[in-house]
Amino acid sequence: MSHSSKLQTAELDWEIVDDIEIPISKQFGDVYFSKDNGLLETRHVFLNGNDLTERLSQLHDYQYFCVGETGFGTGLNILTLWQLWQQVRLDNHSHLHVVSVEKFPLNKADLIRALNVWTELKPLAEKLIQQYPLPIAGCHRLSFPEERFSIDLWLGDAQDIFPTIPKTQAVNAWFLDGFAPSCNPDMWQANVLDHMVRLSDFGTTFASFSVAGILKRGLKQHGIQISRPRGFGHKREMLKAIWLNASQEETDTGDSKQDITIQNESEIESSASVQRHIAIIGAGIAGLSSAWAFAQRGHQVTIYEQNEPLSGASGNPLALLNPKLCPIEQAHEHLMTLSWQHALNFYPRFKAFRPIQVQQIALKNADELLGLVEQYPENVLTANTTLECLPETELSSLTLHEAGAVSPHKLRDEILQHPNIRIEKAKISRLESTDSQVTLWHDQQKIAITDHAVVCCAKQSAELFENYPVLKPIRGQVSWVENSQRPLALDQAYSYGGYCMQLDASQLILGASFYPNRDDAEVLTEDHVHNYELIHSVFPQYVEQLPKLETWQGRASVRAQSLDYFPLVGEIQNLDQIYTFAGLGSKGFLFAPLCSEILAALILGELCPVPQSLLDKLNPQRFQKKLKAKKPYYSG
């Protein structure tokens, strides 16, 4: 994927037509929506063109329906779809998901201005604007669980993006938007259309305001049946198409003027779903965040934990979301950068979250670290040559303005209050997969039978599988100490190989020691000394005023890290019912929300919010040499 630099946002001109401000793209010299009435055009072309009123109103309980779009623009199509969804959806657990691509995203101020036109969409527009992502390439998942609605907004060039989207589910209907082929020929190239068809299936429909030859030829080439019903306003025609299998095809697959009516029965049969019962083994952050992802979708989750929840590495008093950001051209497939953006959309739903800034101290390669400021969008990063705030240091630093801290125990309590989640104290000693179900055993006793099991036991996960990838143990200890005389600001954290921040108004938390291949978990004075020396090397004056080491408290635990530093997310033995999520190392709270969405997509049959390249890196079977010659594990 060729991202040479940061994304360029849309440059707009504005034209007033009948007291309505119409945004016009300077890049393409075309309007974002019809001067006649963009809202009515969207309903006519995209909603009616895909027969969505009928199809969405007939979705079964737990059914997933996916709409794809080739140009997000101002979000008008998606908001109009969302409004229809509110009007016709049944009171069940069906879910509407949208995948949209945009090369030149509007900046937030322009988006607000453009959407101000549509007063009837205002409540939905406000929800969209609240989660609207930073202009950074890659997939941004916006979730509205109370609406049973979600959006994957992929920022970047459609020619680069569509080939990278894994087909973990088929798209049911397409909005072929983007500017007219004469203004934006790149969007309508065969490569883009080929991959849209790859992401589709029999029964998938397509609608467009354009009846350009390049589009009609491209669809026909794939055996997709086209009709040209009346267009919107002064436009004579629009395009409506459906991919039929051989038994459904009519004798005339030509370019018919006759409108095609879409049958919904096969769609319902092929993807109707049911409530799943999911067993999650282990109640660290991997288990808790996975449980939340399934419970939010209406599925029943039982967590089995042999000790107490958060008894392992996830149970420290405070977790810092502190990503090491990559050069911007890697952002679209960089797990840490994508996870950071997702986590900052996920955790603010919980009282356990507090927004903070992180001062990342440049211990080495200062130019490289500070050089990220120019690459990322405005107001995300600031370079500091000296820190004027408390504590004092002579080293340069990078301020990451968008970060946060999570209180693990508060988060645990909030997640376990979910009506679809229950927790049982039990040690699972064996899993048995039979007839599309999983039996859980404790010694010789059957504990439960469930639809799927997800093993989230860090290093102990290997006890439940024959060929589990190696996870190496890493001992880590955090320390906390009274500092009420000179507390740091509650909205600041400092990162310097270790980290420090206020645990509360009167205590400083700092750490963490890092000892690979050790699995002892006693609190040791030598680790307090290690944490002291780490912070002393950066803030010598500040640390000398802290109480003596004998008064320090701490917690030690063992993290589990894979050999290539990527978590394990997915199936282990092609069983379809048994999955794992482990190996998060020291970045559990950062990685867990995005990885849980990936896991839910794989198990429930939804589209994934990451590119194929990253899915392959997370695939637990990547370590089995015999699989290397085969095609990618998750490809469609």
For residue 256, what pLDDT is reported? 64
Between CA 272 and CA 60 the distance in angstroms is 6
Between 4 and 551, the higher pLDDT residue = 551
With a cut of 50, say whether residue 251 has pLDDT above it: no
Tell me the average pLDDT across 50-78: 96
Between 35 and 95, the higher pLDDT residue = 95
For residue 339, what pLDDT is reported? 98
Tell me the average pLDDT across 297-307: 97
Confidence class for position 560, pLDDT limits 50, 70, 90: very high
182-191 own/partner pairs: CB under 8 Å, 24+ apart: 182/212, 183/28, 183/29, 183/30, 184/28, 184/30, 185/214, 186/157, 186/158, 186/159, 187/70, 187/71, 187/158, 188/212, 188/214, 188/215, 188/218, 189/159, 190/218, 191/159, 191/162, 191/163
Give the helix, strand, coil percentages of the chain, each rounded to 5: 30, 25, 40
For residue 2, what pLDDT is reported? 44
Closest to 96 (Cα-Cα) out of 73, 68, 124: 68
Confidence class for position 384, pLDDT limits 50, 70, 90: confident
For residue 272, what pLDDT is reported? 53
pLDDT tens string 424-433 = 999 999 999 9
User: Of 31-45, 198-212, 581-595, which gets the smallest average pLDDT?
Assistant: 31-45
Tell me the average pLDDT across 347-371: 94
User: Of 9-18, 460-469, 627-636, which gets the smallest average pLDDT?
Assistant: 627-636
Confidence class for position 26, pLDDT limits 50, 70, 90: confident
Between 246 and 522, the higher pLDDT residue = 522
Token look-up 């303005």 returns 401
Confidence class for position 264, pLDDT limits 50, 70, 90: low
Between 409 and 251, the higher pLDDT residue = 409
Between CA 60 and CA 62 the distance in angstroms is 6
For residue 187, what pLDDT is reported? 58
Contact present, 314 and 284 (Cβ < 8 Å): yes
With a cut of 90, say whether residue 612 has pLDDT above it: yes
Confidence class for position 211, pLDDT limits 50, 70, 90: confident
User: Of 110-119, 371-380, 395-404, 573-582, which gets the smallest average pLDDT?
Assistant: 573-582
Between CA 495 and CA 408 the distance in angstroms is 19
For residue 213, what pLDDT is reported? 84
Tell me the average pLDDT across 320-348: 97
For residue 179, what pLDDT is reported? 58
- Cα four-point dihedral sign 375, 377, 381, 383: positive
Tell me the average pLDDT across 411-420: 98
Q: What are phi and psi of 292, to 5 degrees?
A: -65, -45
For residue 234, what pLDDT is reported? 79
Q: Give every CB contact of residue 388 below 8 A, 6+ residues apart in sequence.
A: none
Confidence class for position 34, pLDDT limits 50, 70, 90: confident
User: Of 2-11, 167-176, 297-306, which gets the smallest average pLDDT?
Assistant: 2-11
Between CA 77 and CA 85 the distance in angstroms is 12
Report DSSP state, residue 6.
S
End-to-end CA distance of the chain: 19
pLDDT tens string 461-514 = 999 998 899 999 999 999 999 999 899 999 999 999 999 999 999 999 999 999
- DSSP assignment of 470-522 equals PEEEEEEEEEEEE-TTSPPPTTEEEESSSEEEESSSSEEEEE---EET-----
Sheet of strand 445-450: strand arrangement: 430-434, 437-442, 445-450
Tell me the average pLDDT across 417-442: 94
Tell me the average pLDDT across 368-374: 93
- Prediction pTM value: 0.94
For residue 231, what pLDDT is reported? 87
By the 10 Å C-beta count (0-12 exposed, 13-18 middle, 19+ buried), 345 is classed as middle
For residue 132, what pLDDT is reported? 97
Confidence class for position 370, pLDDT limits 50, 70, 90: very high
For residue 628, what pLDDT is reported? 45
With a cut of 90, say whether residue 188 has pLDDT above it: no
